[in-house]
Structure 1
Amino acid sequence: MKLLSLAFLVLPGVLSRGLPSPLSNNQQPSPIGIADKVIVSAAAKAPNGEDAQSSNYDIQCNSNNATPLNWDDLWSCWNEIYNRGDALCAANPSGRFCEKGAVKISGTSYFGKNTASTCRAVANGLSAIWEKCRYTDQIGRAIYLGGSNAAYGNGELIVHAQNNWVAVLPSL
C-alpha cells in the first residue's frame, strides 16, 4: 500500500467538510477507500527519520474467534476522534475516547502512568488496528476484529478497539 502525505491530501466529503468536492455524490469514495488513504503503517517514518511507532509495542489483534466490530460504529468513532484534531486524548492511566453502538475505543498507558497524544495520533493508531486486524470471510466481506496499537508517534499510549456489548445470558 502506498502511504500518502496527509498534508496534501483532500478527502472529499468526509474529512474535508465544507470544502467543494470535484466528485458527484454517486462518485464519492466508500469509507473503506478513504480509510485506506489515511492508514499509517507501523513501519512509517516520522519527519525526523525516526520510527513513528515506538518499538516497544506491536499491533495486537483479538483472536479470529472474537466477536467482530461493526464497521459503521468503528468508522464513526474514528471520525469523531480524528476530527478532535490536536486536542489531547489522555490516559490517566486509562481513558475512553469513543463509544458508538457496539464499539468502544479506549487507551491505556503502557507504563501505567499518565500519558496523552493528540486525538489525531490516536485515530491514526486506530486505523492501523483495523488495517492489520481484518480478514475476509468466505463470501468476501471484510471482518474487523478488535485489537490494540500505540498511538502514532507515542509508544506509551496504547489504543484499544473492542466490542462494547456484553451478552446477557438468560437465567435458568
Structure 2
Amino acid sequence: MTTHTLSYEMVGFTKVSIVLASIFTIIGNAAAAPAPLETDVDKLIIAGVGLPKASELGLTVEDLKKPAPAVDHLFMRSPAPEKDLAKRFDPQCWGDPKCTRGDATNCYNYLNGLGGTSCVTSGYIQMCRSGGCGWYGRSLFGGTVSSSCYNVALGGAWVLTNCQGNYLAGANAAYGNGNLVVEIHP
C-alpha cells in the first residue's frame, strides 16, 4: 500500500466520521430539547387553590375524558326513611347558564383522581375549572367544611348523571357530607 492510497482511505474515513458525528449531534440536540412548561392535561384543568396540577397526579387527557359513572344508587334513601338521618340538601338541576358536559366531566375525573385529598371550603371556592365550566364548593351552614375530593366528585357525578343534555348545571352535596355543597356551572 502506498502513501497515496493511504491518504485517500483516510480522507474517506474522515468524511464518514464527520457525517456520523453530525447525525449524532442532530439527534442529541433533538432529544435534549426543553420540555414544554405546561402539558396538555394542565391546559384542560385549572386546579383549585392548594390542589395539585392534573399532571402531578399522573392524569392524562384520556383520563379526563372518561365518562362519569352512574351514582344514583349511592344517594338512594332506605325503604324505611324514618330510620334515615335527616337529609340536608336536595340535589338540583338548574337552567341557564349551563356548561358543557365534556368540561364538567374533565373536572369530575380530576377531582376523583385526587382521591382522599381533602377538598376544603370556607365560604364559596372554585375547586376545579375546565373550559367554561367550574366546580365550586360551599358550606351549607357556614364555616369551614371538608370532604375527600373523591366524595366531592361523587356528589357532582349526580349532576352529570341526572341533568340531561350536552349542557348542564346543578348542585348536590358531597357524598357522605350534606354540609358541603358541590355546584357545577359556568
The percentage of counterpart residues that share the same residue type is 29
Q: Output the CA distance in 2 between the equivalents of 1:132 and 1:68.
A: 14
In structure 2, the partner of 1:56 is 88
> TM-score under structure 2 normalisation?
0.57
Q: Deviations over 1:119-170 (max 9, x none)?
A: 0000000000121221xxxxxxx3332111100000000000001xxxxxxx
Is 1:158 aligned with 2:181?
yes
Unaligned runs of 5+ in 2: 1-57, 60-64
> TM-score under structure 1 normalisation?
0.61
Match of 2:140 among 110, 115, 122: 110
The 1:94–1:154 alpha-carbon spacing in structure 2 relative to 1, beyond 3 Å, is same
- On the 8 A contact 2:133/2:184 being kept in 1, the answer is yes
Q: What is the deviation of 1:70?
A: 1.2
1:13-92 → structure 2 map (5 Å cutoff): 31-32=66-67, 35-37=68-70, 41-43=74-76, 55-63=87-95, 66-92=96-122
Q: After the TM superposition, which segments of 4 or more aligned residues of structure 1 sit over 3 Å from their partners? A: 36-41
Aligned residue type for 2:76:
A
- On the 8 A contact 2:71/2:158 being kept in 1, the answer is no
SS in 1 for 2:99: coil
- On the 8 A contact 1:62/1:146 being kept in 2, the answer is yes
Q: What is the deviation of 1:113?
A: 1.1
SS in 1 for 2:69: helix
Unaligned runs of 5+ in 1: 1-16, 19-29, 135-141, 164-172
In structure 2, the partner of 1:133 is 163
Q: Output the CA distance in 2 between the equivalents of 1:131 and 1:39.
A: 8
Aligned residue type for 2:98:
P
What is the number of equivalent residue pairs in this alignment?
120
Match of 2:152 among 104, 111, 122: 122
Is 1:94 aligned with 2:124?
yes
SS in 2 for 1:76: helix
Q: What is the deviation of 1:39?
A: 5.6
Larger Rg over CA atoms: 2
The 1:160–1:39 alpha-carbon spacing in structure 2 relative to 1, beyond 3 Å, is same
